[in-house]
Chain A
Amino acid sequence: MTNETIQQKIQDKFGASVTGFEEPYGMLTFEIAADKNIELLQYLYDEPDLAFRFLTDVTVVHYPDDKGRELAVVYHLHNLVDNIRFRFKCFIDIENPEINTATVLFESANWQEREAYDFYGVIFKGHPNLKRIMNVEEMDYFPMRKEFPLEDQSRTDKDDEMFGRGGSVI
């Protein structure tokens, strides 16, 4: 099994909803319409000569300038028998950040999706327990979104110059 054969199979099955195939650093990467994510995962799981049965990671990237497709949910998969990995992305709108949960197929997606929700506010529809996992429960924003500054805003007595936030230090 090579990247080409995987790409061929997926294209045959999903046609126009998969786009943007590329191989950065030799790792197959592509994009699929957000509503097809579970269908694709199921297909990859069931198909005997693909057998991607290990969900390595679910992460999110925020592209604030890409209107209507600001959040990219990235799934990393691994075929443990042939030791092949690849990833695919689903772009969703930040105004309506909803996507189907992968917990229907992978138990391990439970915490990974909670983390993605915690930091980016992606709503995984059908997730059994979608609440914050890392941050304090009272937190009212999603800290990894680009519009929020990294620095803690609660401390007012820190000298901004010493902390590289403006002032005369560039």
Chain B
Amino acid sequence: MARPVRFNIHPKQTDIHDNIAIAEMPDGLNGEGYFATNLEKVVALGRKNSLWPLPFATSCCGIEFMATAAATYDLARFGAERMAFTPRQCDLLMVMGTIAKKMAPIVRQVYMQMAEPRWVMAVGACASSGGIFDTYSVLQGIDQVVPVDVYVPGCPPRPEAILDGFMRIQELAGHESLRRRNSEHYKKLMGSYGIQ
């Protein structure tokens, strides 16, 4: 029997009027012809809505990421369509997949090449904790070599979960104080990983 095929016989008209996602305006004073707010909020707005991810995809979770970036889930909606493989341009290191111990120094080096501010997302059980590979050759979580901001659980996580993780990174980026990266606390954190 032939497989039933559904055609899109009732196409929806695209609704672009008043349906464009616009980032919320930060609090501030506004009046005719001017708007005043503080610098921190403007910078946070910019950072939050144009994170440039660096996908570090080493195994199966990387495939989920490809789906996340493709049309159906569309990571571009969050201002993150600009993937780059040049660490110096990127803000967000997305580690997706099993990291073998031999790979660990490379993850670390990529992280160190990124300019501040930088965020790290560990996608999937392997990147978060070694996952099912509790074995001599696999790094038991990338937080042994670089500090991680958001962990996305799952083996593999669905694209929705990756998006959720991404939105949490946006949340962090949107609320981060401009002074955080110079603080003692942050220096200590970096120091504990041996990163200057």
Contacts and interface: CB of A to CB of B under 8 A. Distances in A.
Interface of A: 134-136, 139, 143, 148, 150-152, 154-155, 158, 163
Contacts of B101: 135-136
Interface of B: 101-102, 129-130, 134-138, 140-141, 144
B134 A158 contact: yes
Contacts of B134: 150-152, 155, 158, 163
A151 B129 CA distance: 13
A150 B135 CA distance: 5
Contacts of B129: 155, 158
B135 A135 contact: no
Contacts of B144: 154
A26 to B, nearest CB: 34
19 contacts: A134-B137, A135-B101, A135-B102, A135-B136, A135-B137, A139-B136, A143-B136, A150-B134, A152-B130, A152-B134, A152-B135, A152-B136, A152-B140, A155-B129, A155-B130, A155-B134, A155-B141, A158-B134, A158-B140
A141 to B, nearest CB: 9
Contacts of A134: 137
Nearest to B132: A163
Interface of B is mostly: loop
Nearest to A138: B101
B107 to A, nearest CB: 13
Contacts of B130: 152, 155, 158
A135 B141 CA distance: 17
A148 B140 contact: no
A154 B140 contact: yes
Q: Interface centre among B101, B135, B136, B141, by most A CB within 10 Å?
A: B136
Contacts of B141: 155
Contacts of A163: 134
Contacts of A151: 134-136
B102 A136 contact: yes
Nearest to B138: A152
A134 B137 CA distance: 9
Nearest to B133: A152
Contacts of B140: 152, 154-155, 158
A104 B135 CA distance: 35
Contacts of A155: 129-130, 134, 140-141
Most buried by A among B101, B134, B138, B144: B134
Given A135-B137, A155-B141, 6 more contacts: A135-B102, A143-B136, A150-B136, A151-B134, A154-B140, A158-B140
Nearest to A153: B136
B108 to A, nearest CB: 13
A163 B144 CA distance: 19
Contacts of B136: 135, 139, 143, 148, 150-152
B147 to A, nearest CB: 16
A154 B138 CA distance: 11
Contacts of B138: 152
Closest 7 CB pairs of A and B: A155-B140, A143-B136, A151-B134, A136-B101, A136-B102, A152-B140, A150-B135
Contacts of A139: 136
Nearest to A149: B136
B142 to A, nearest CB: 12
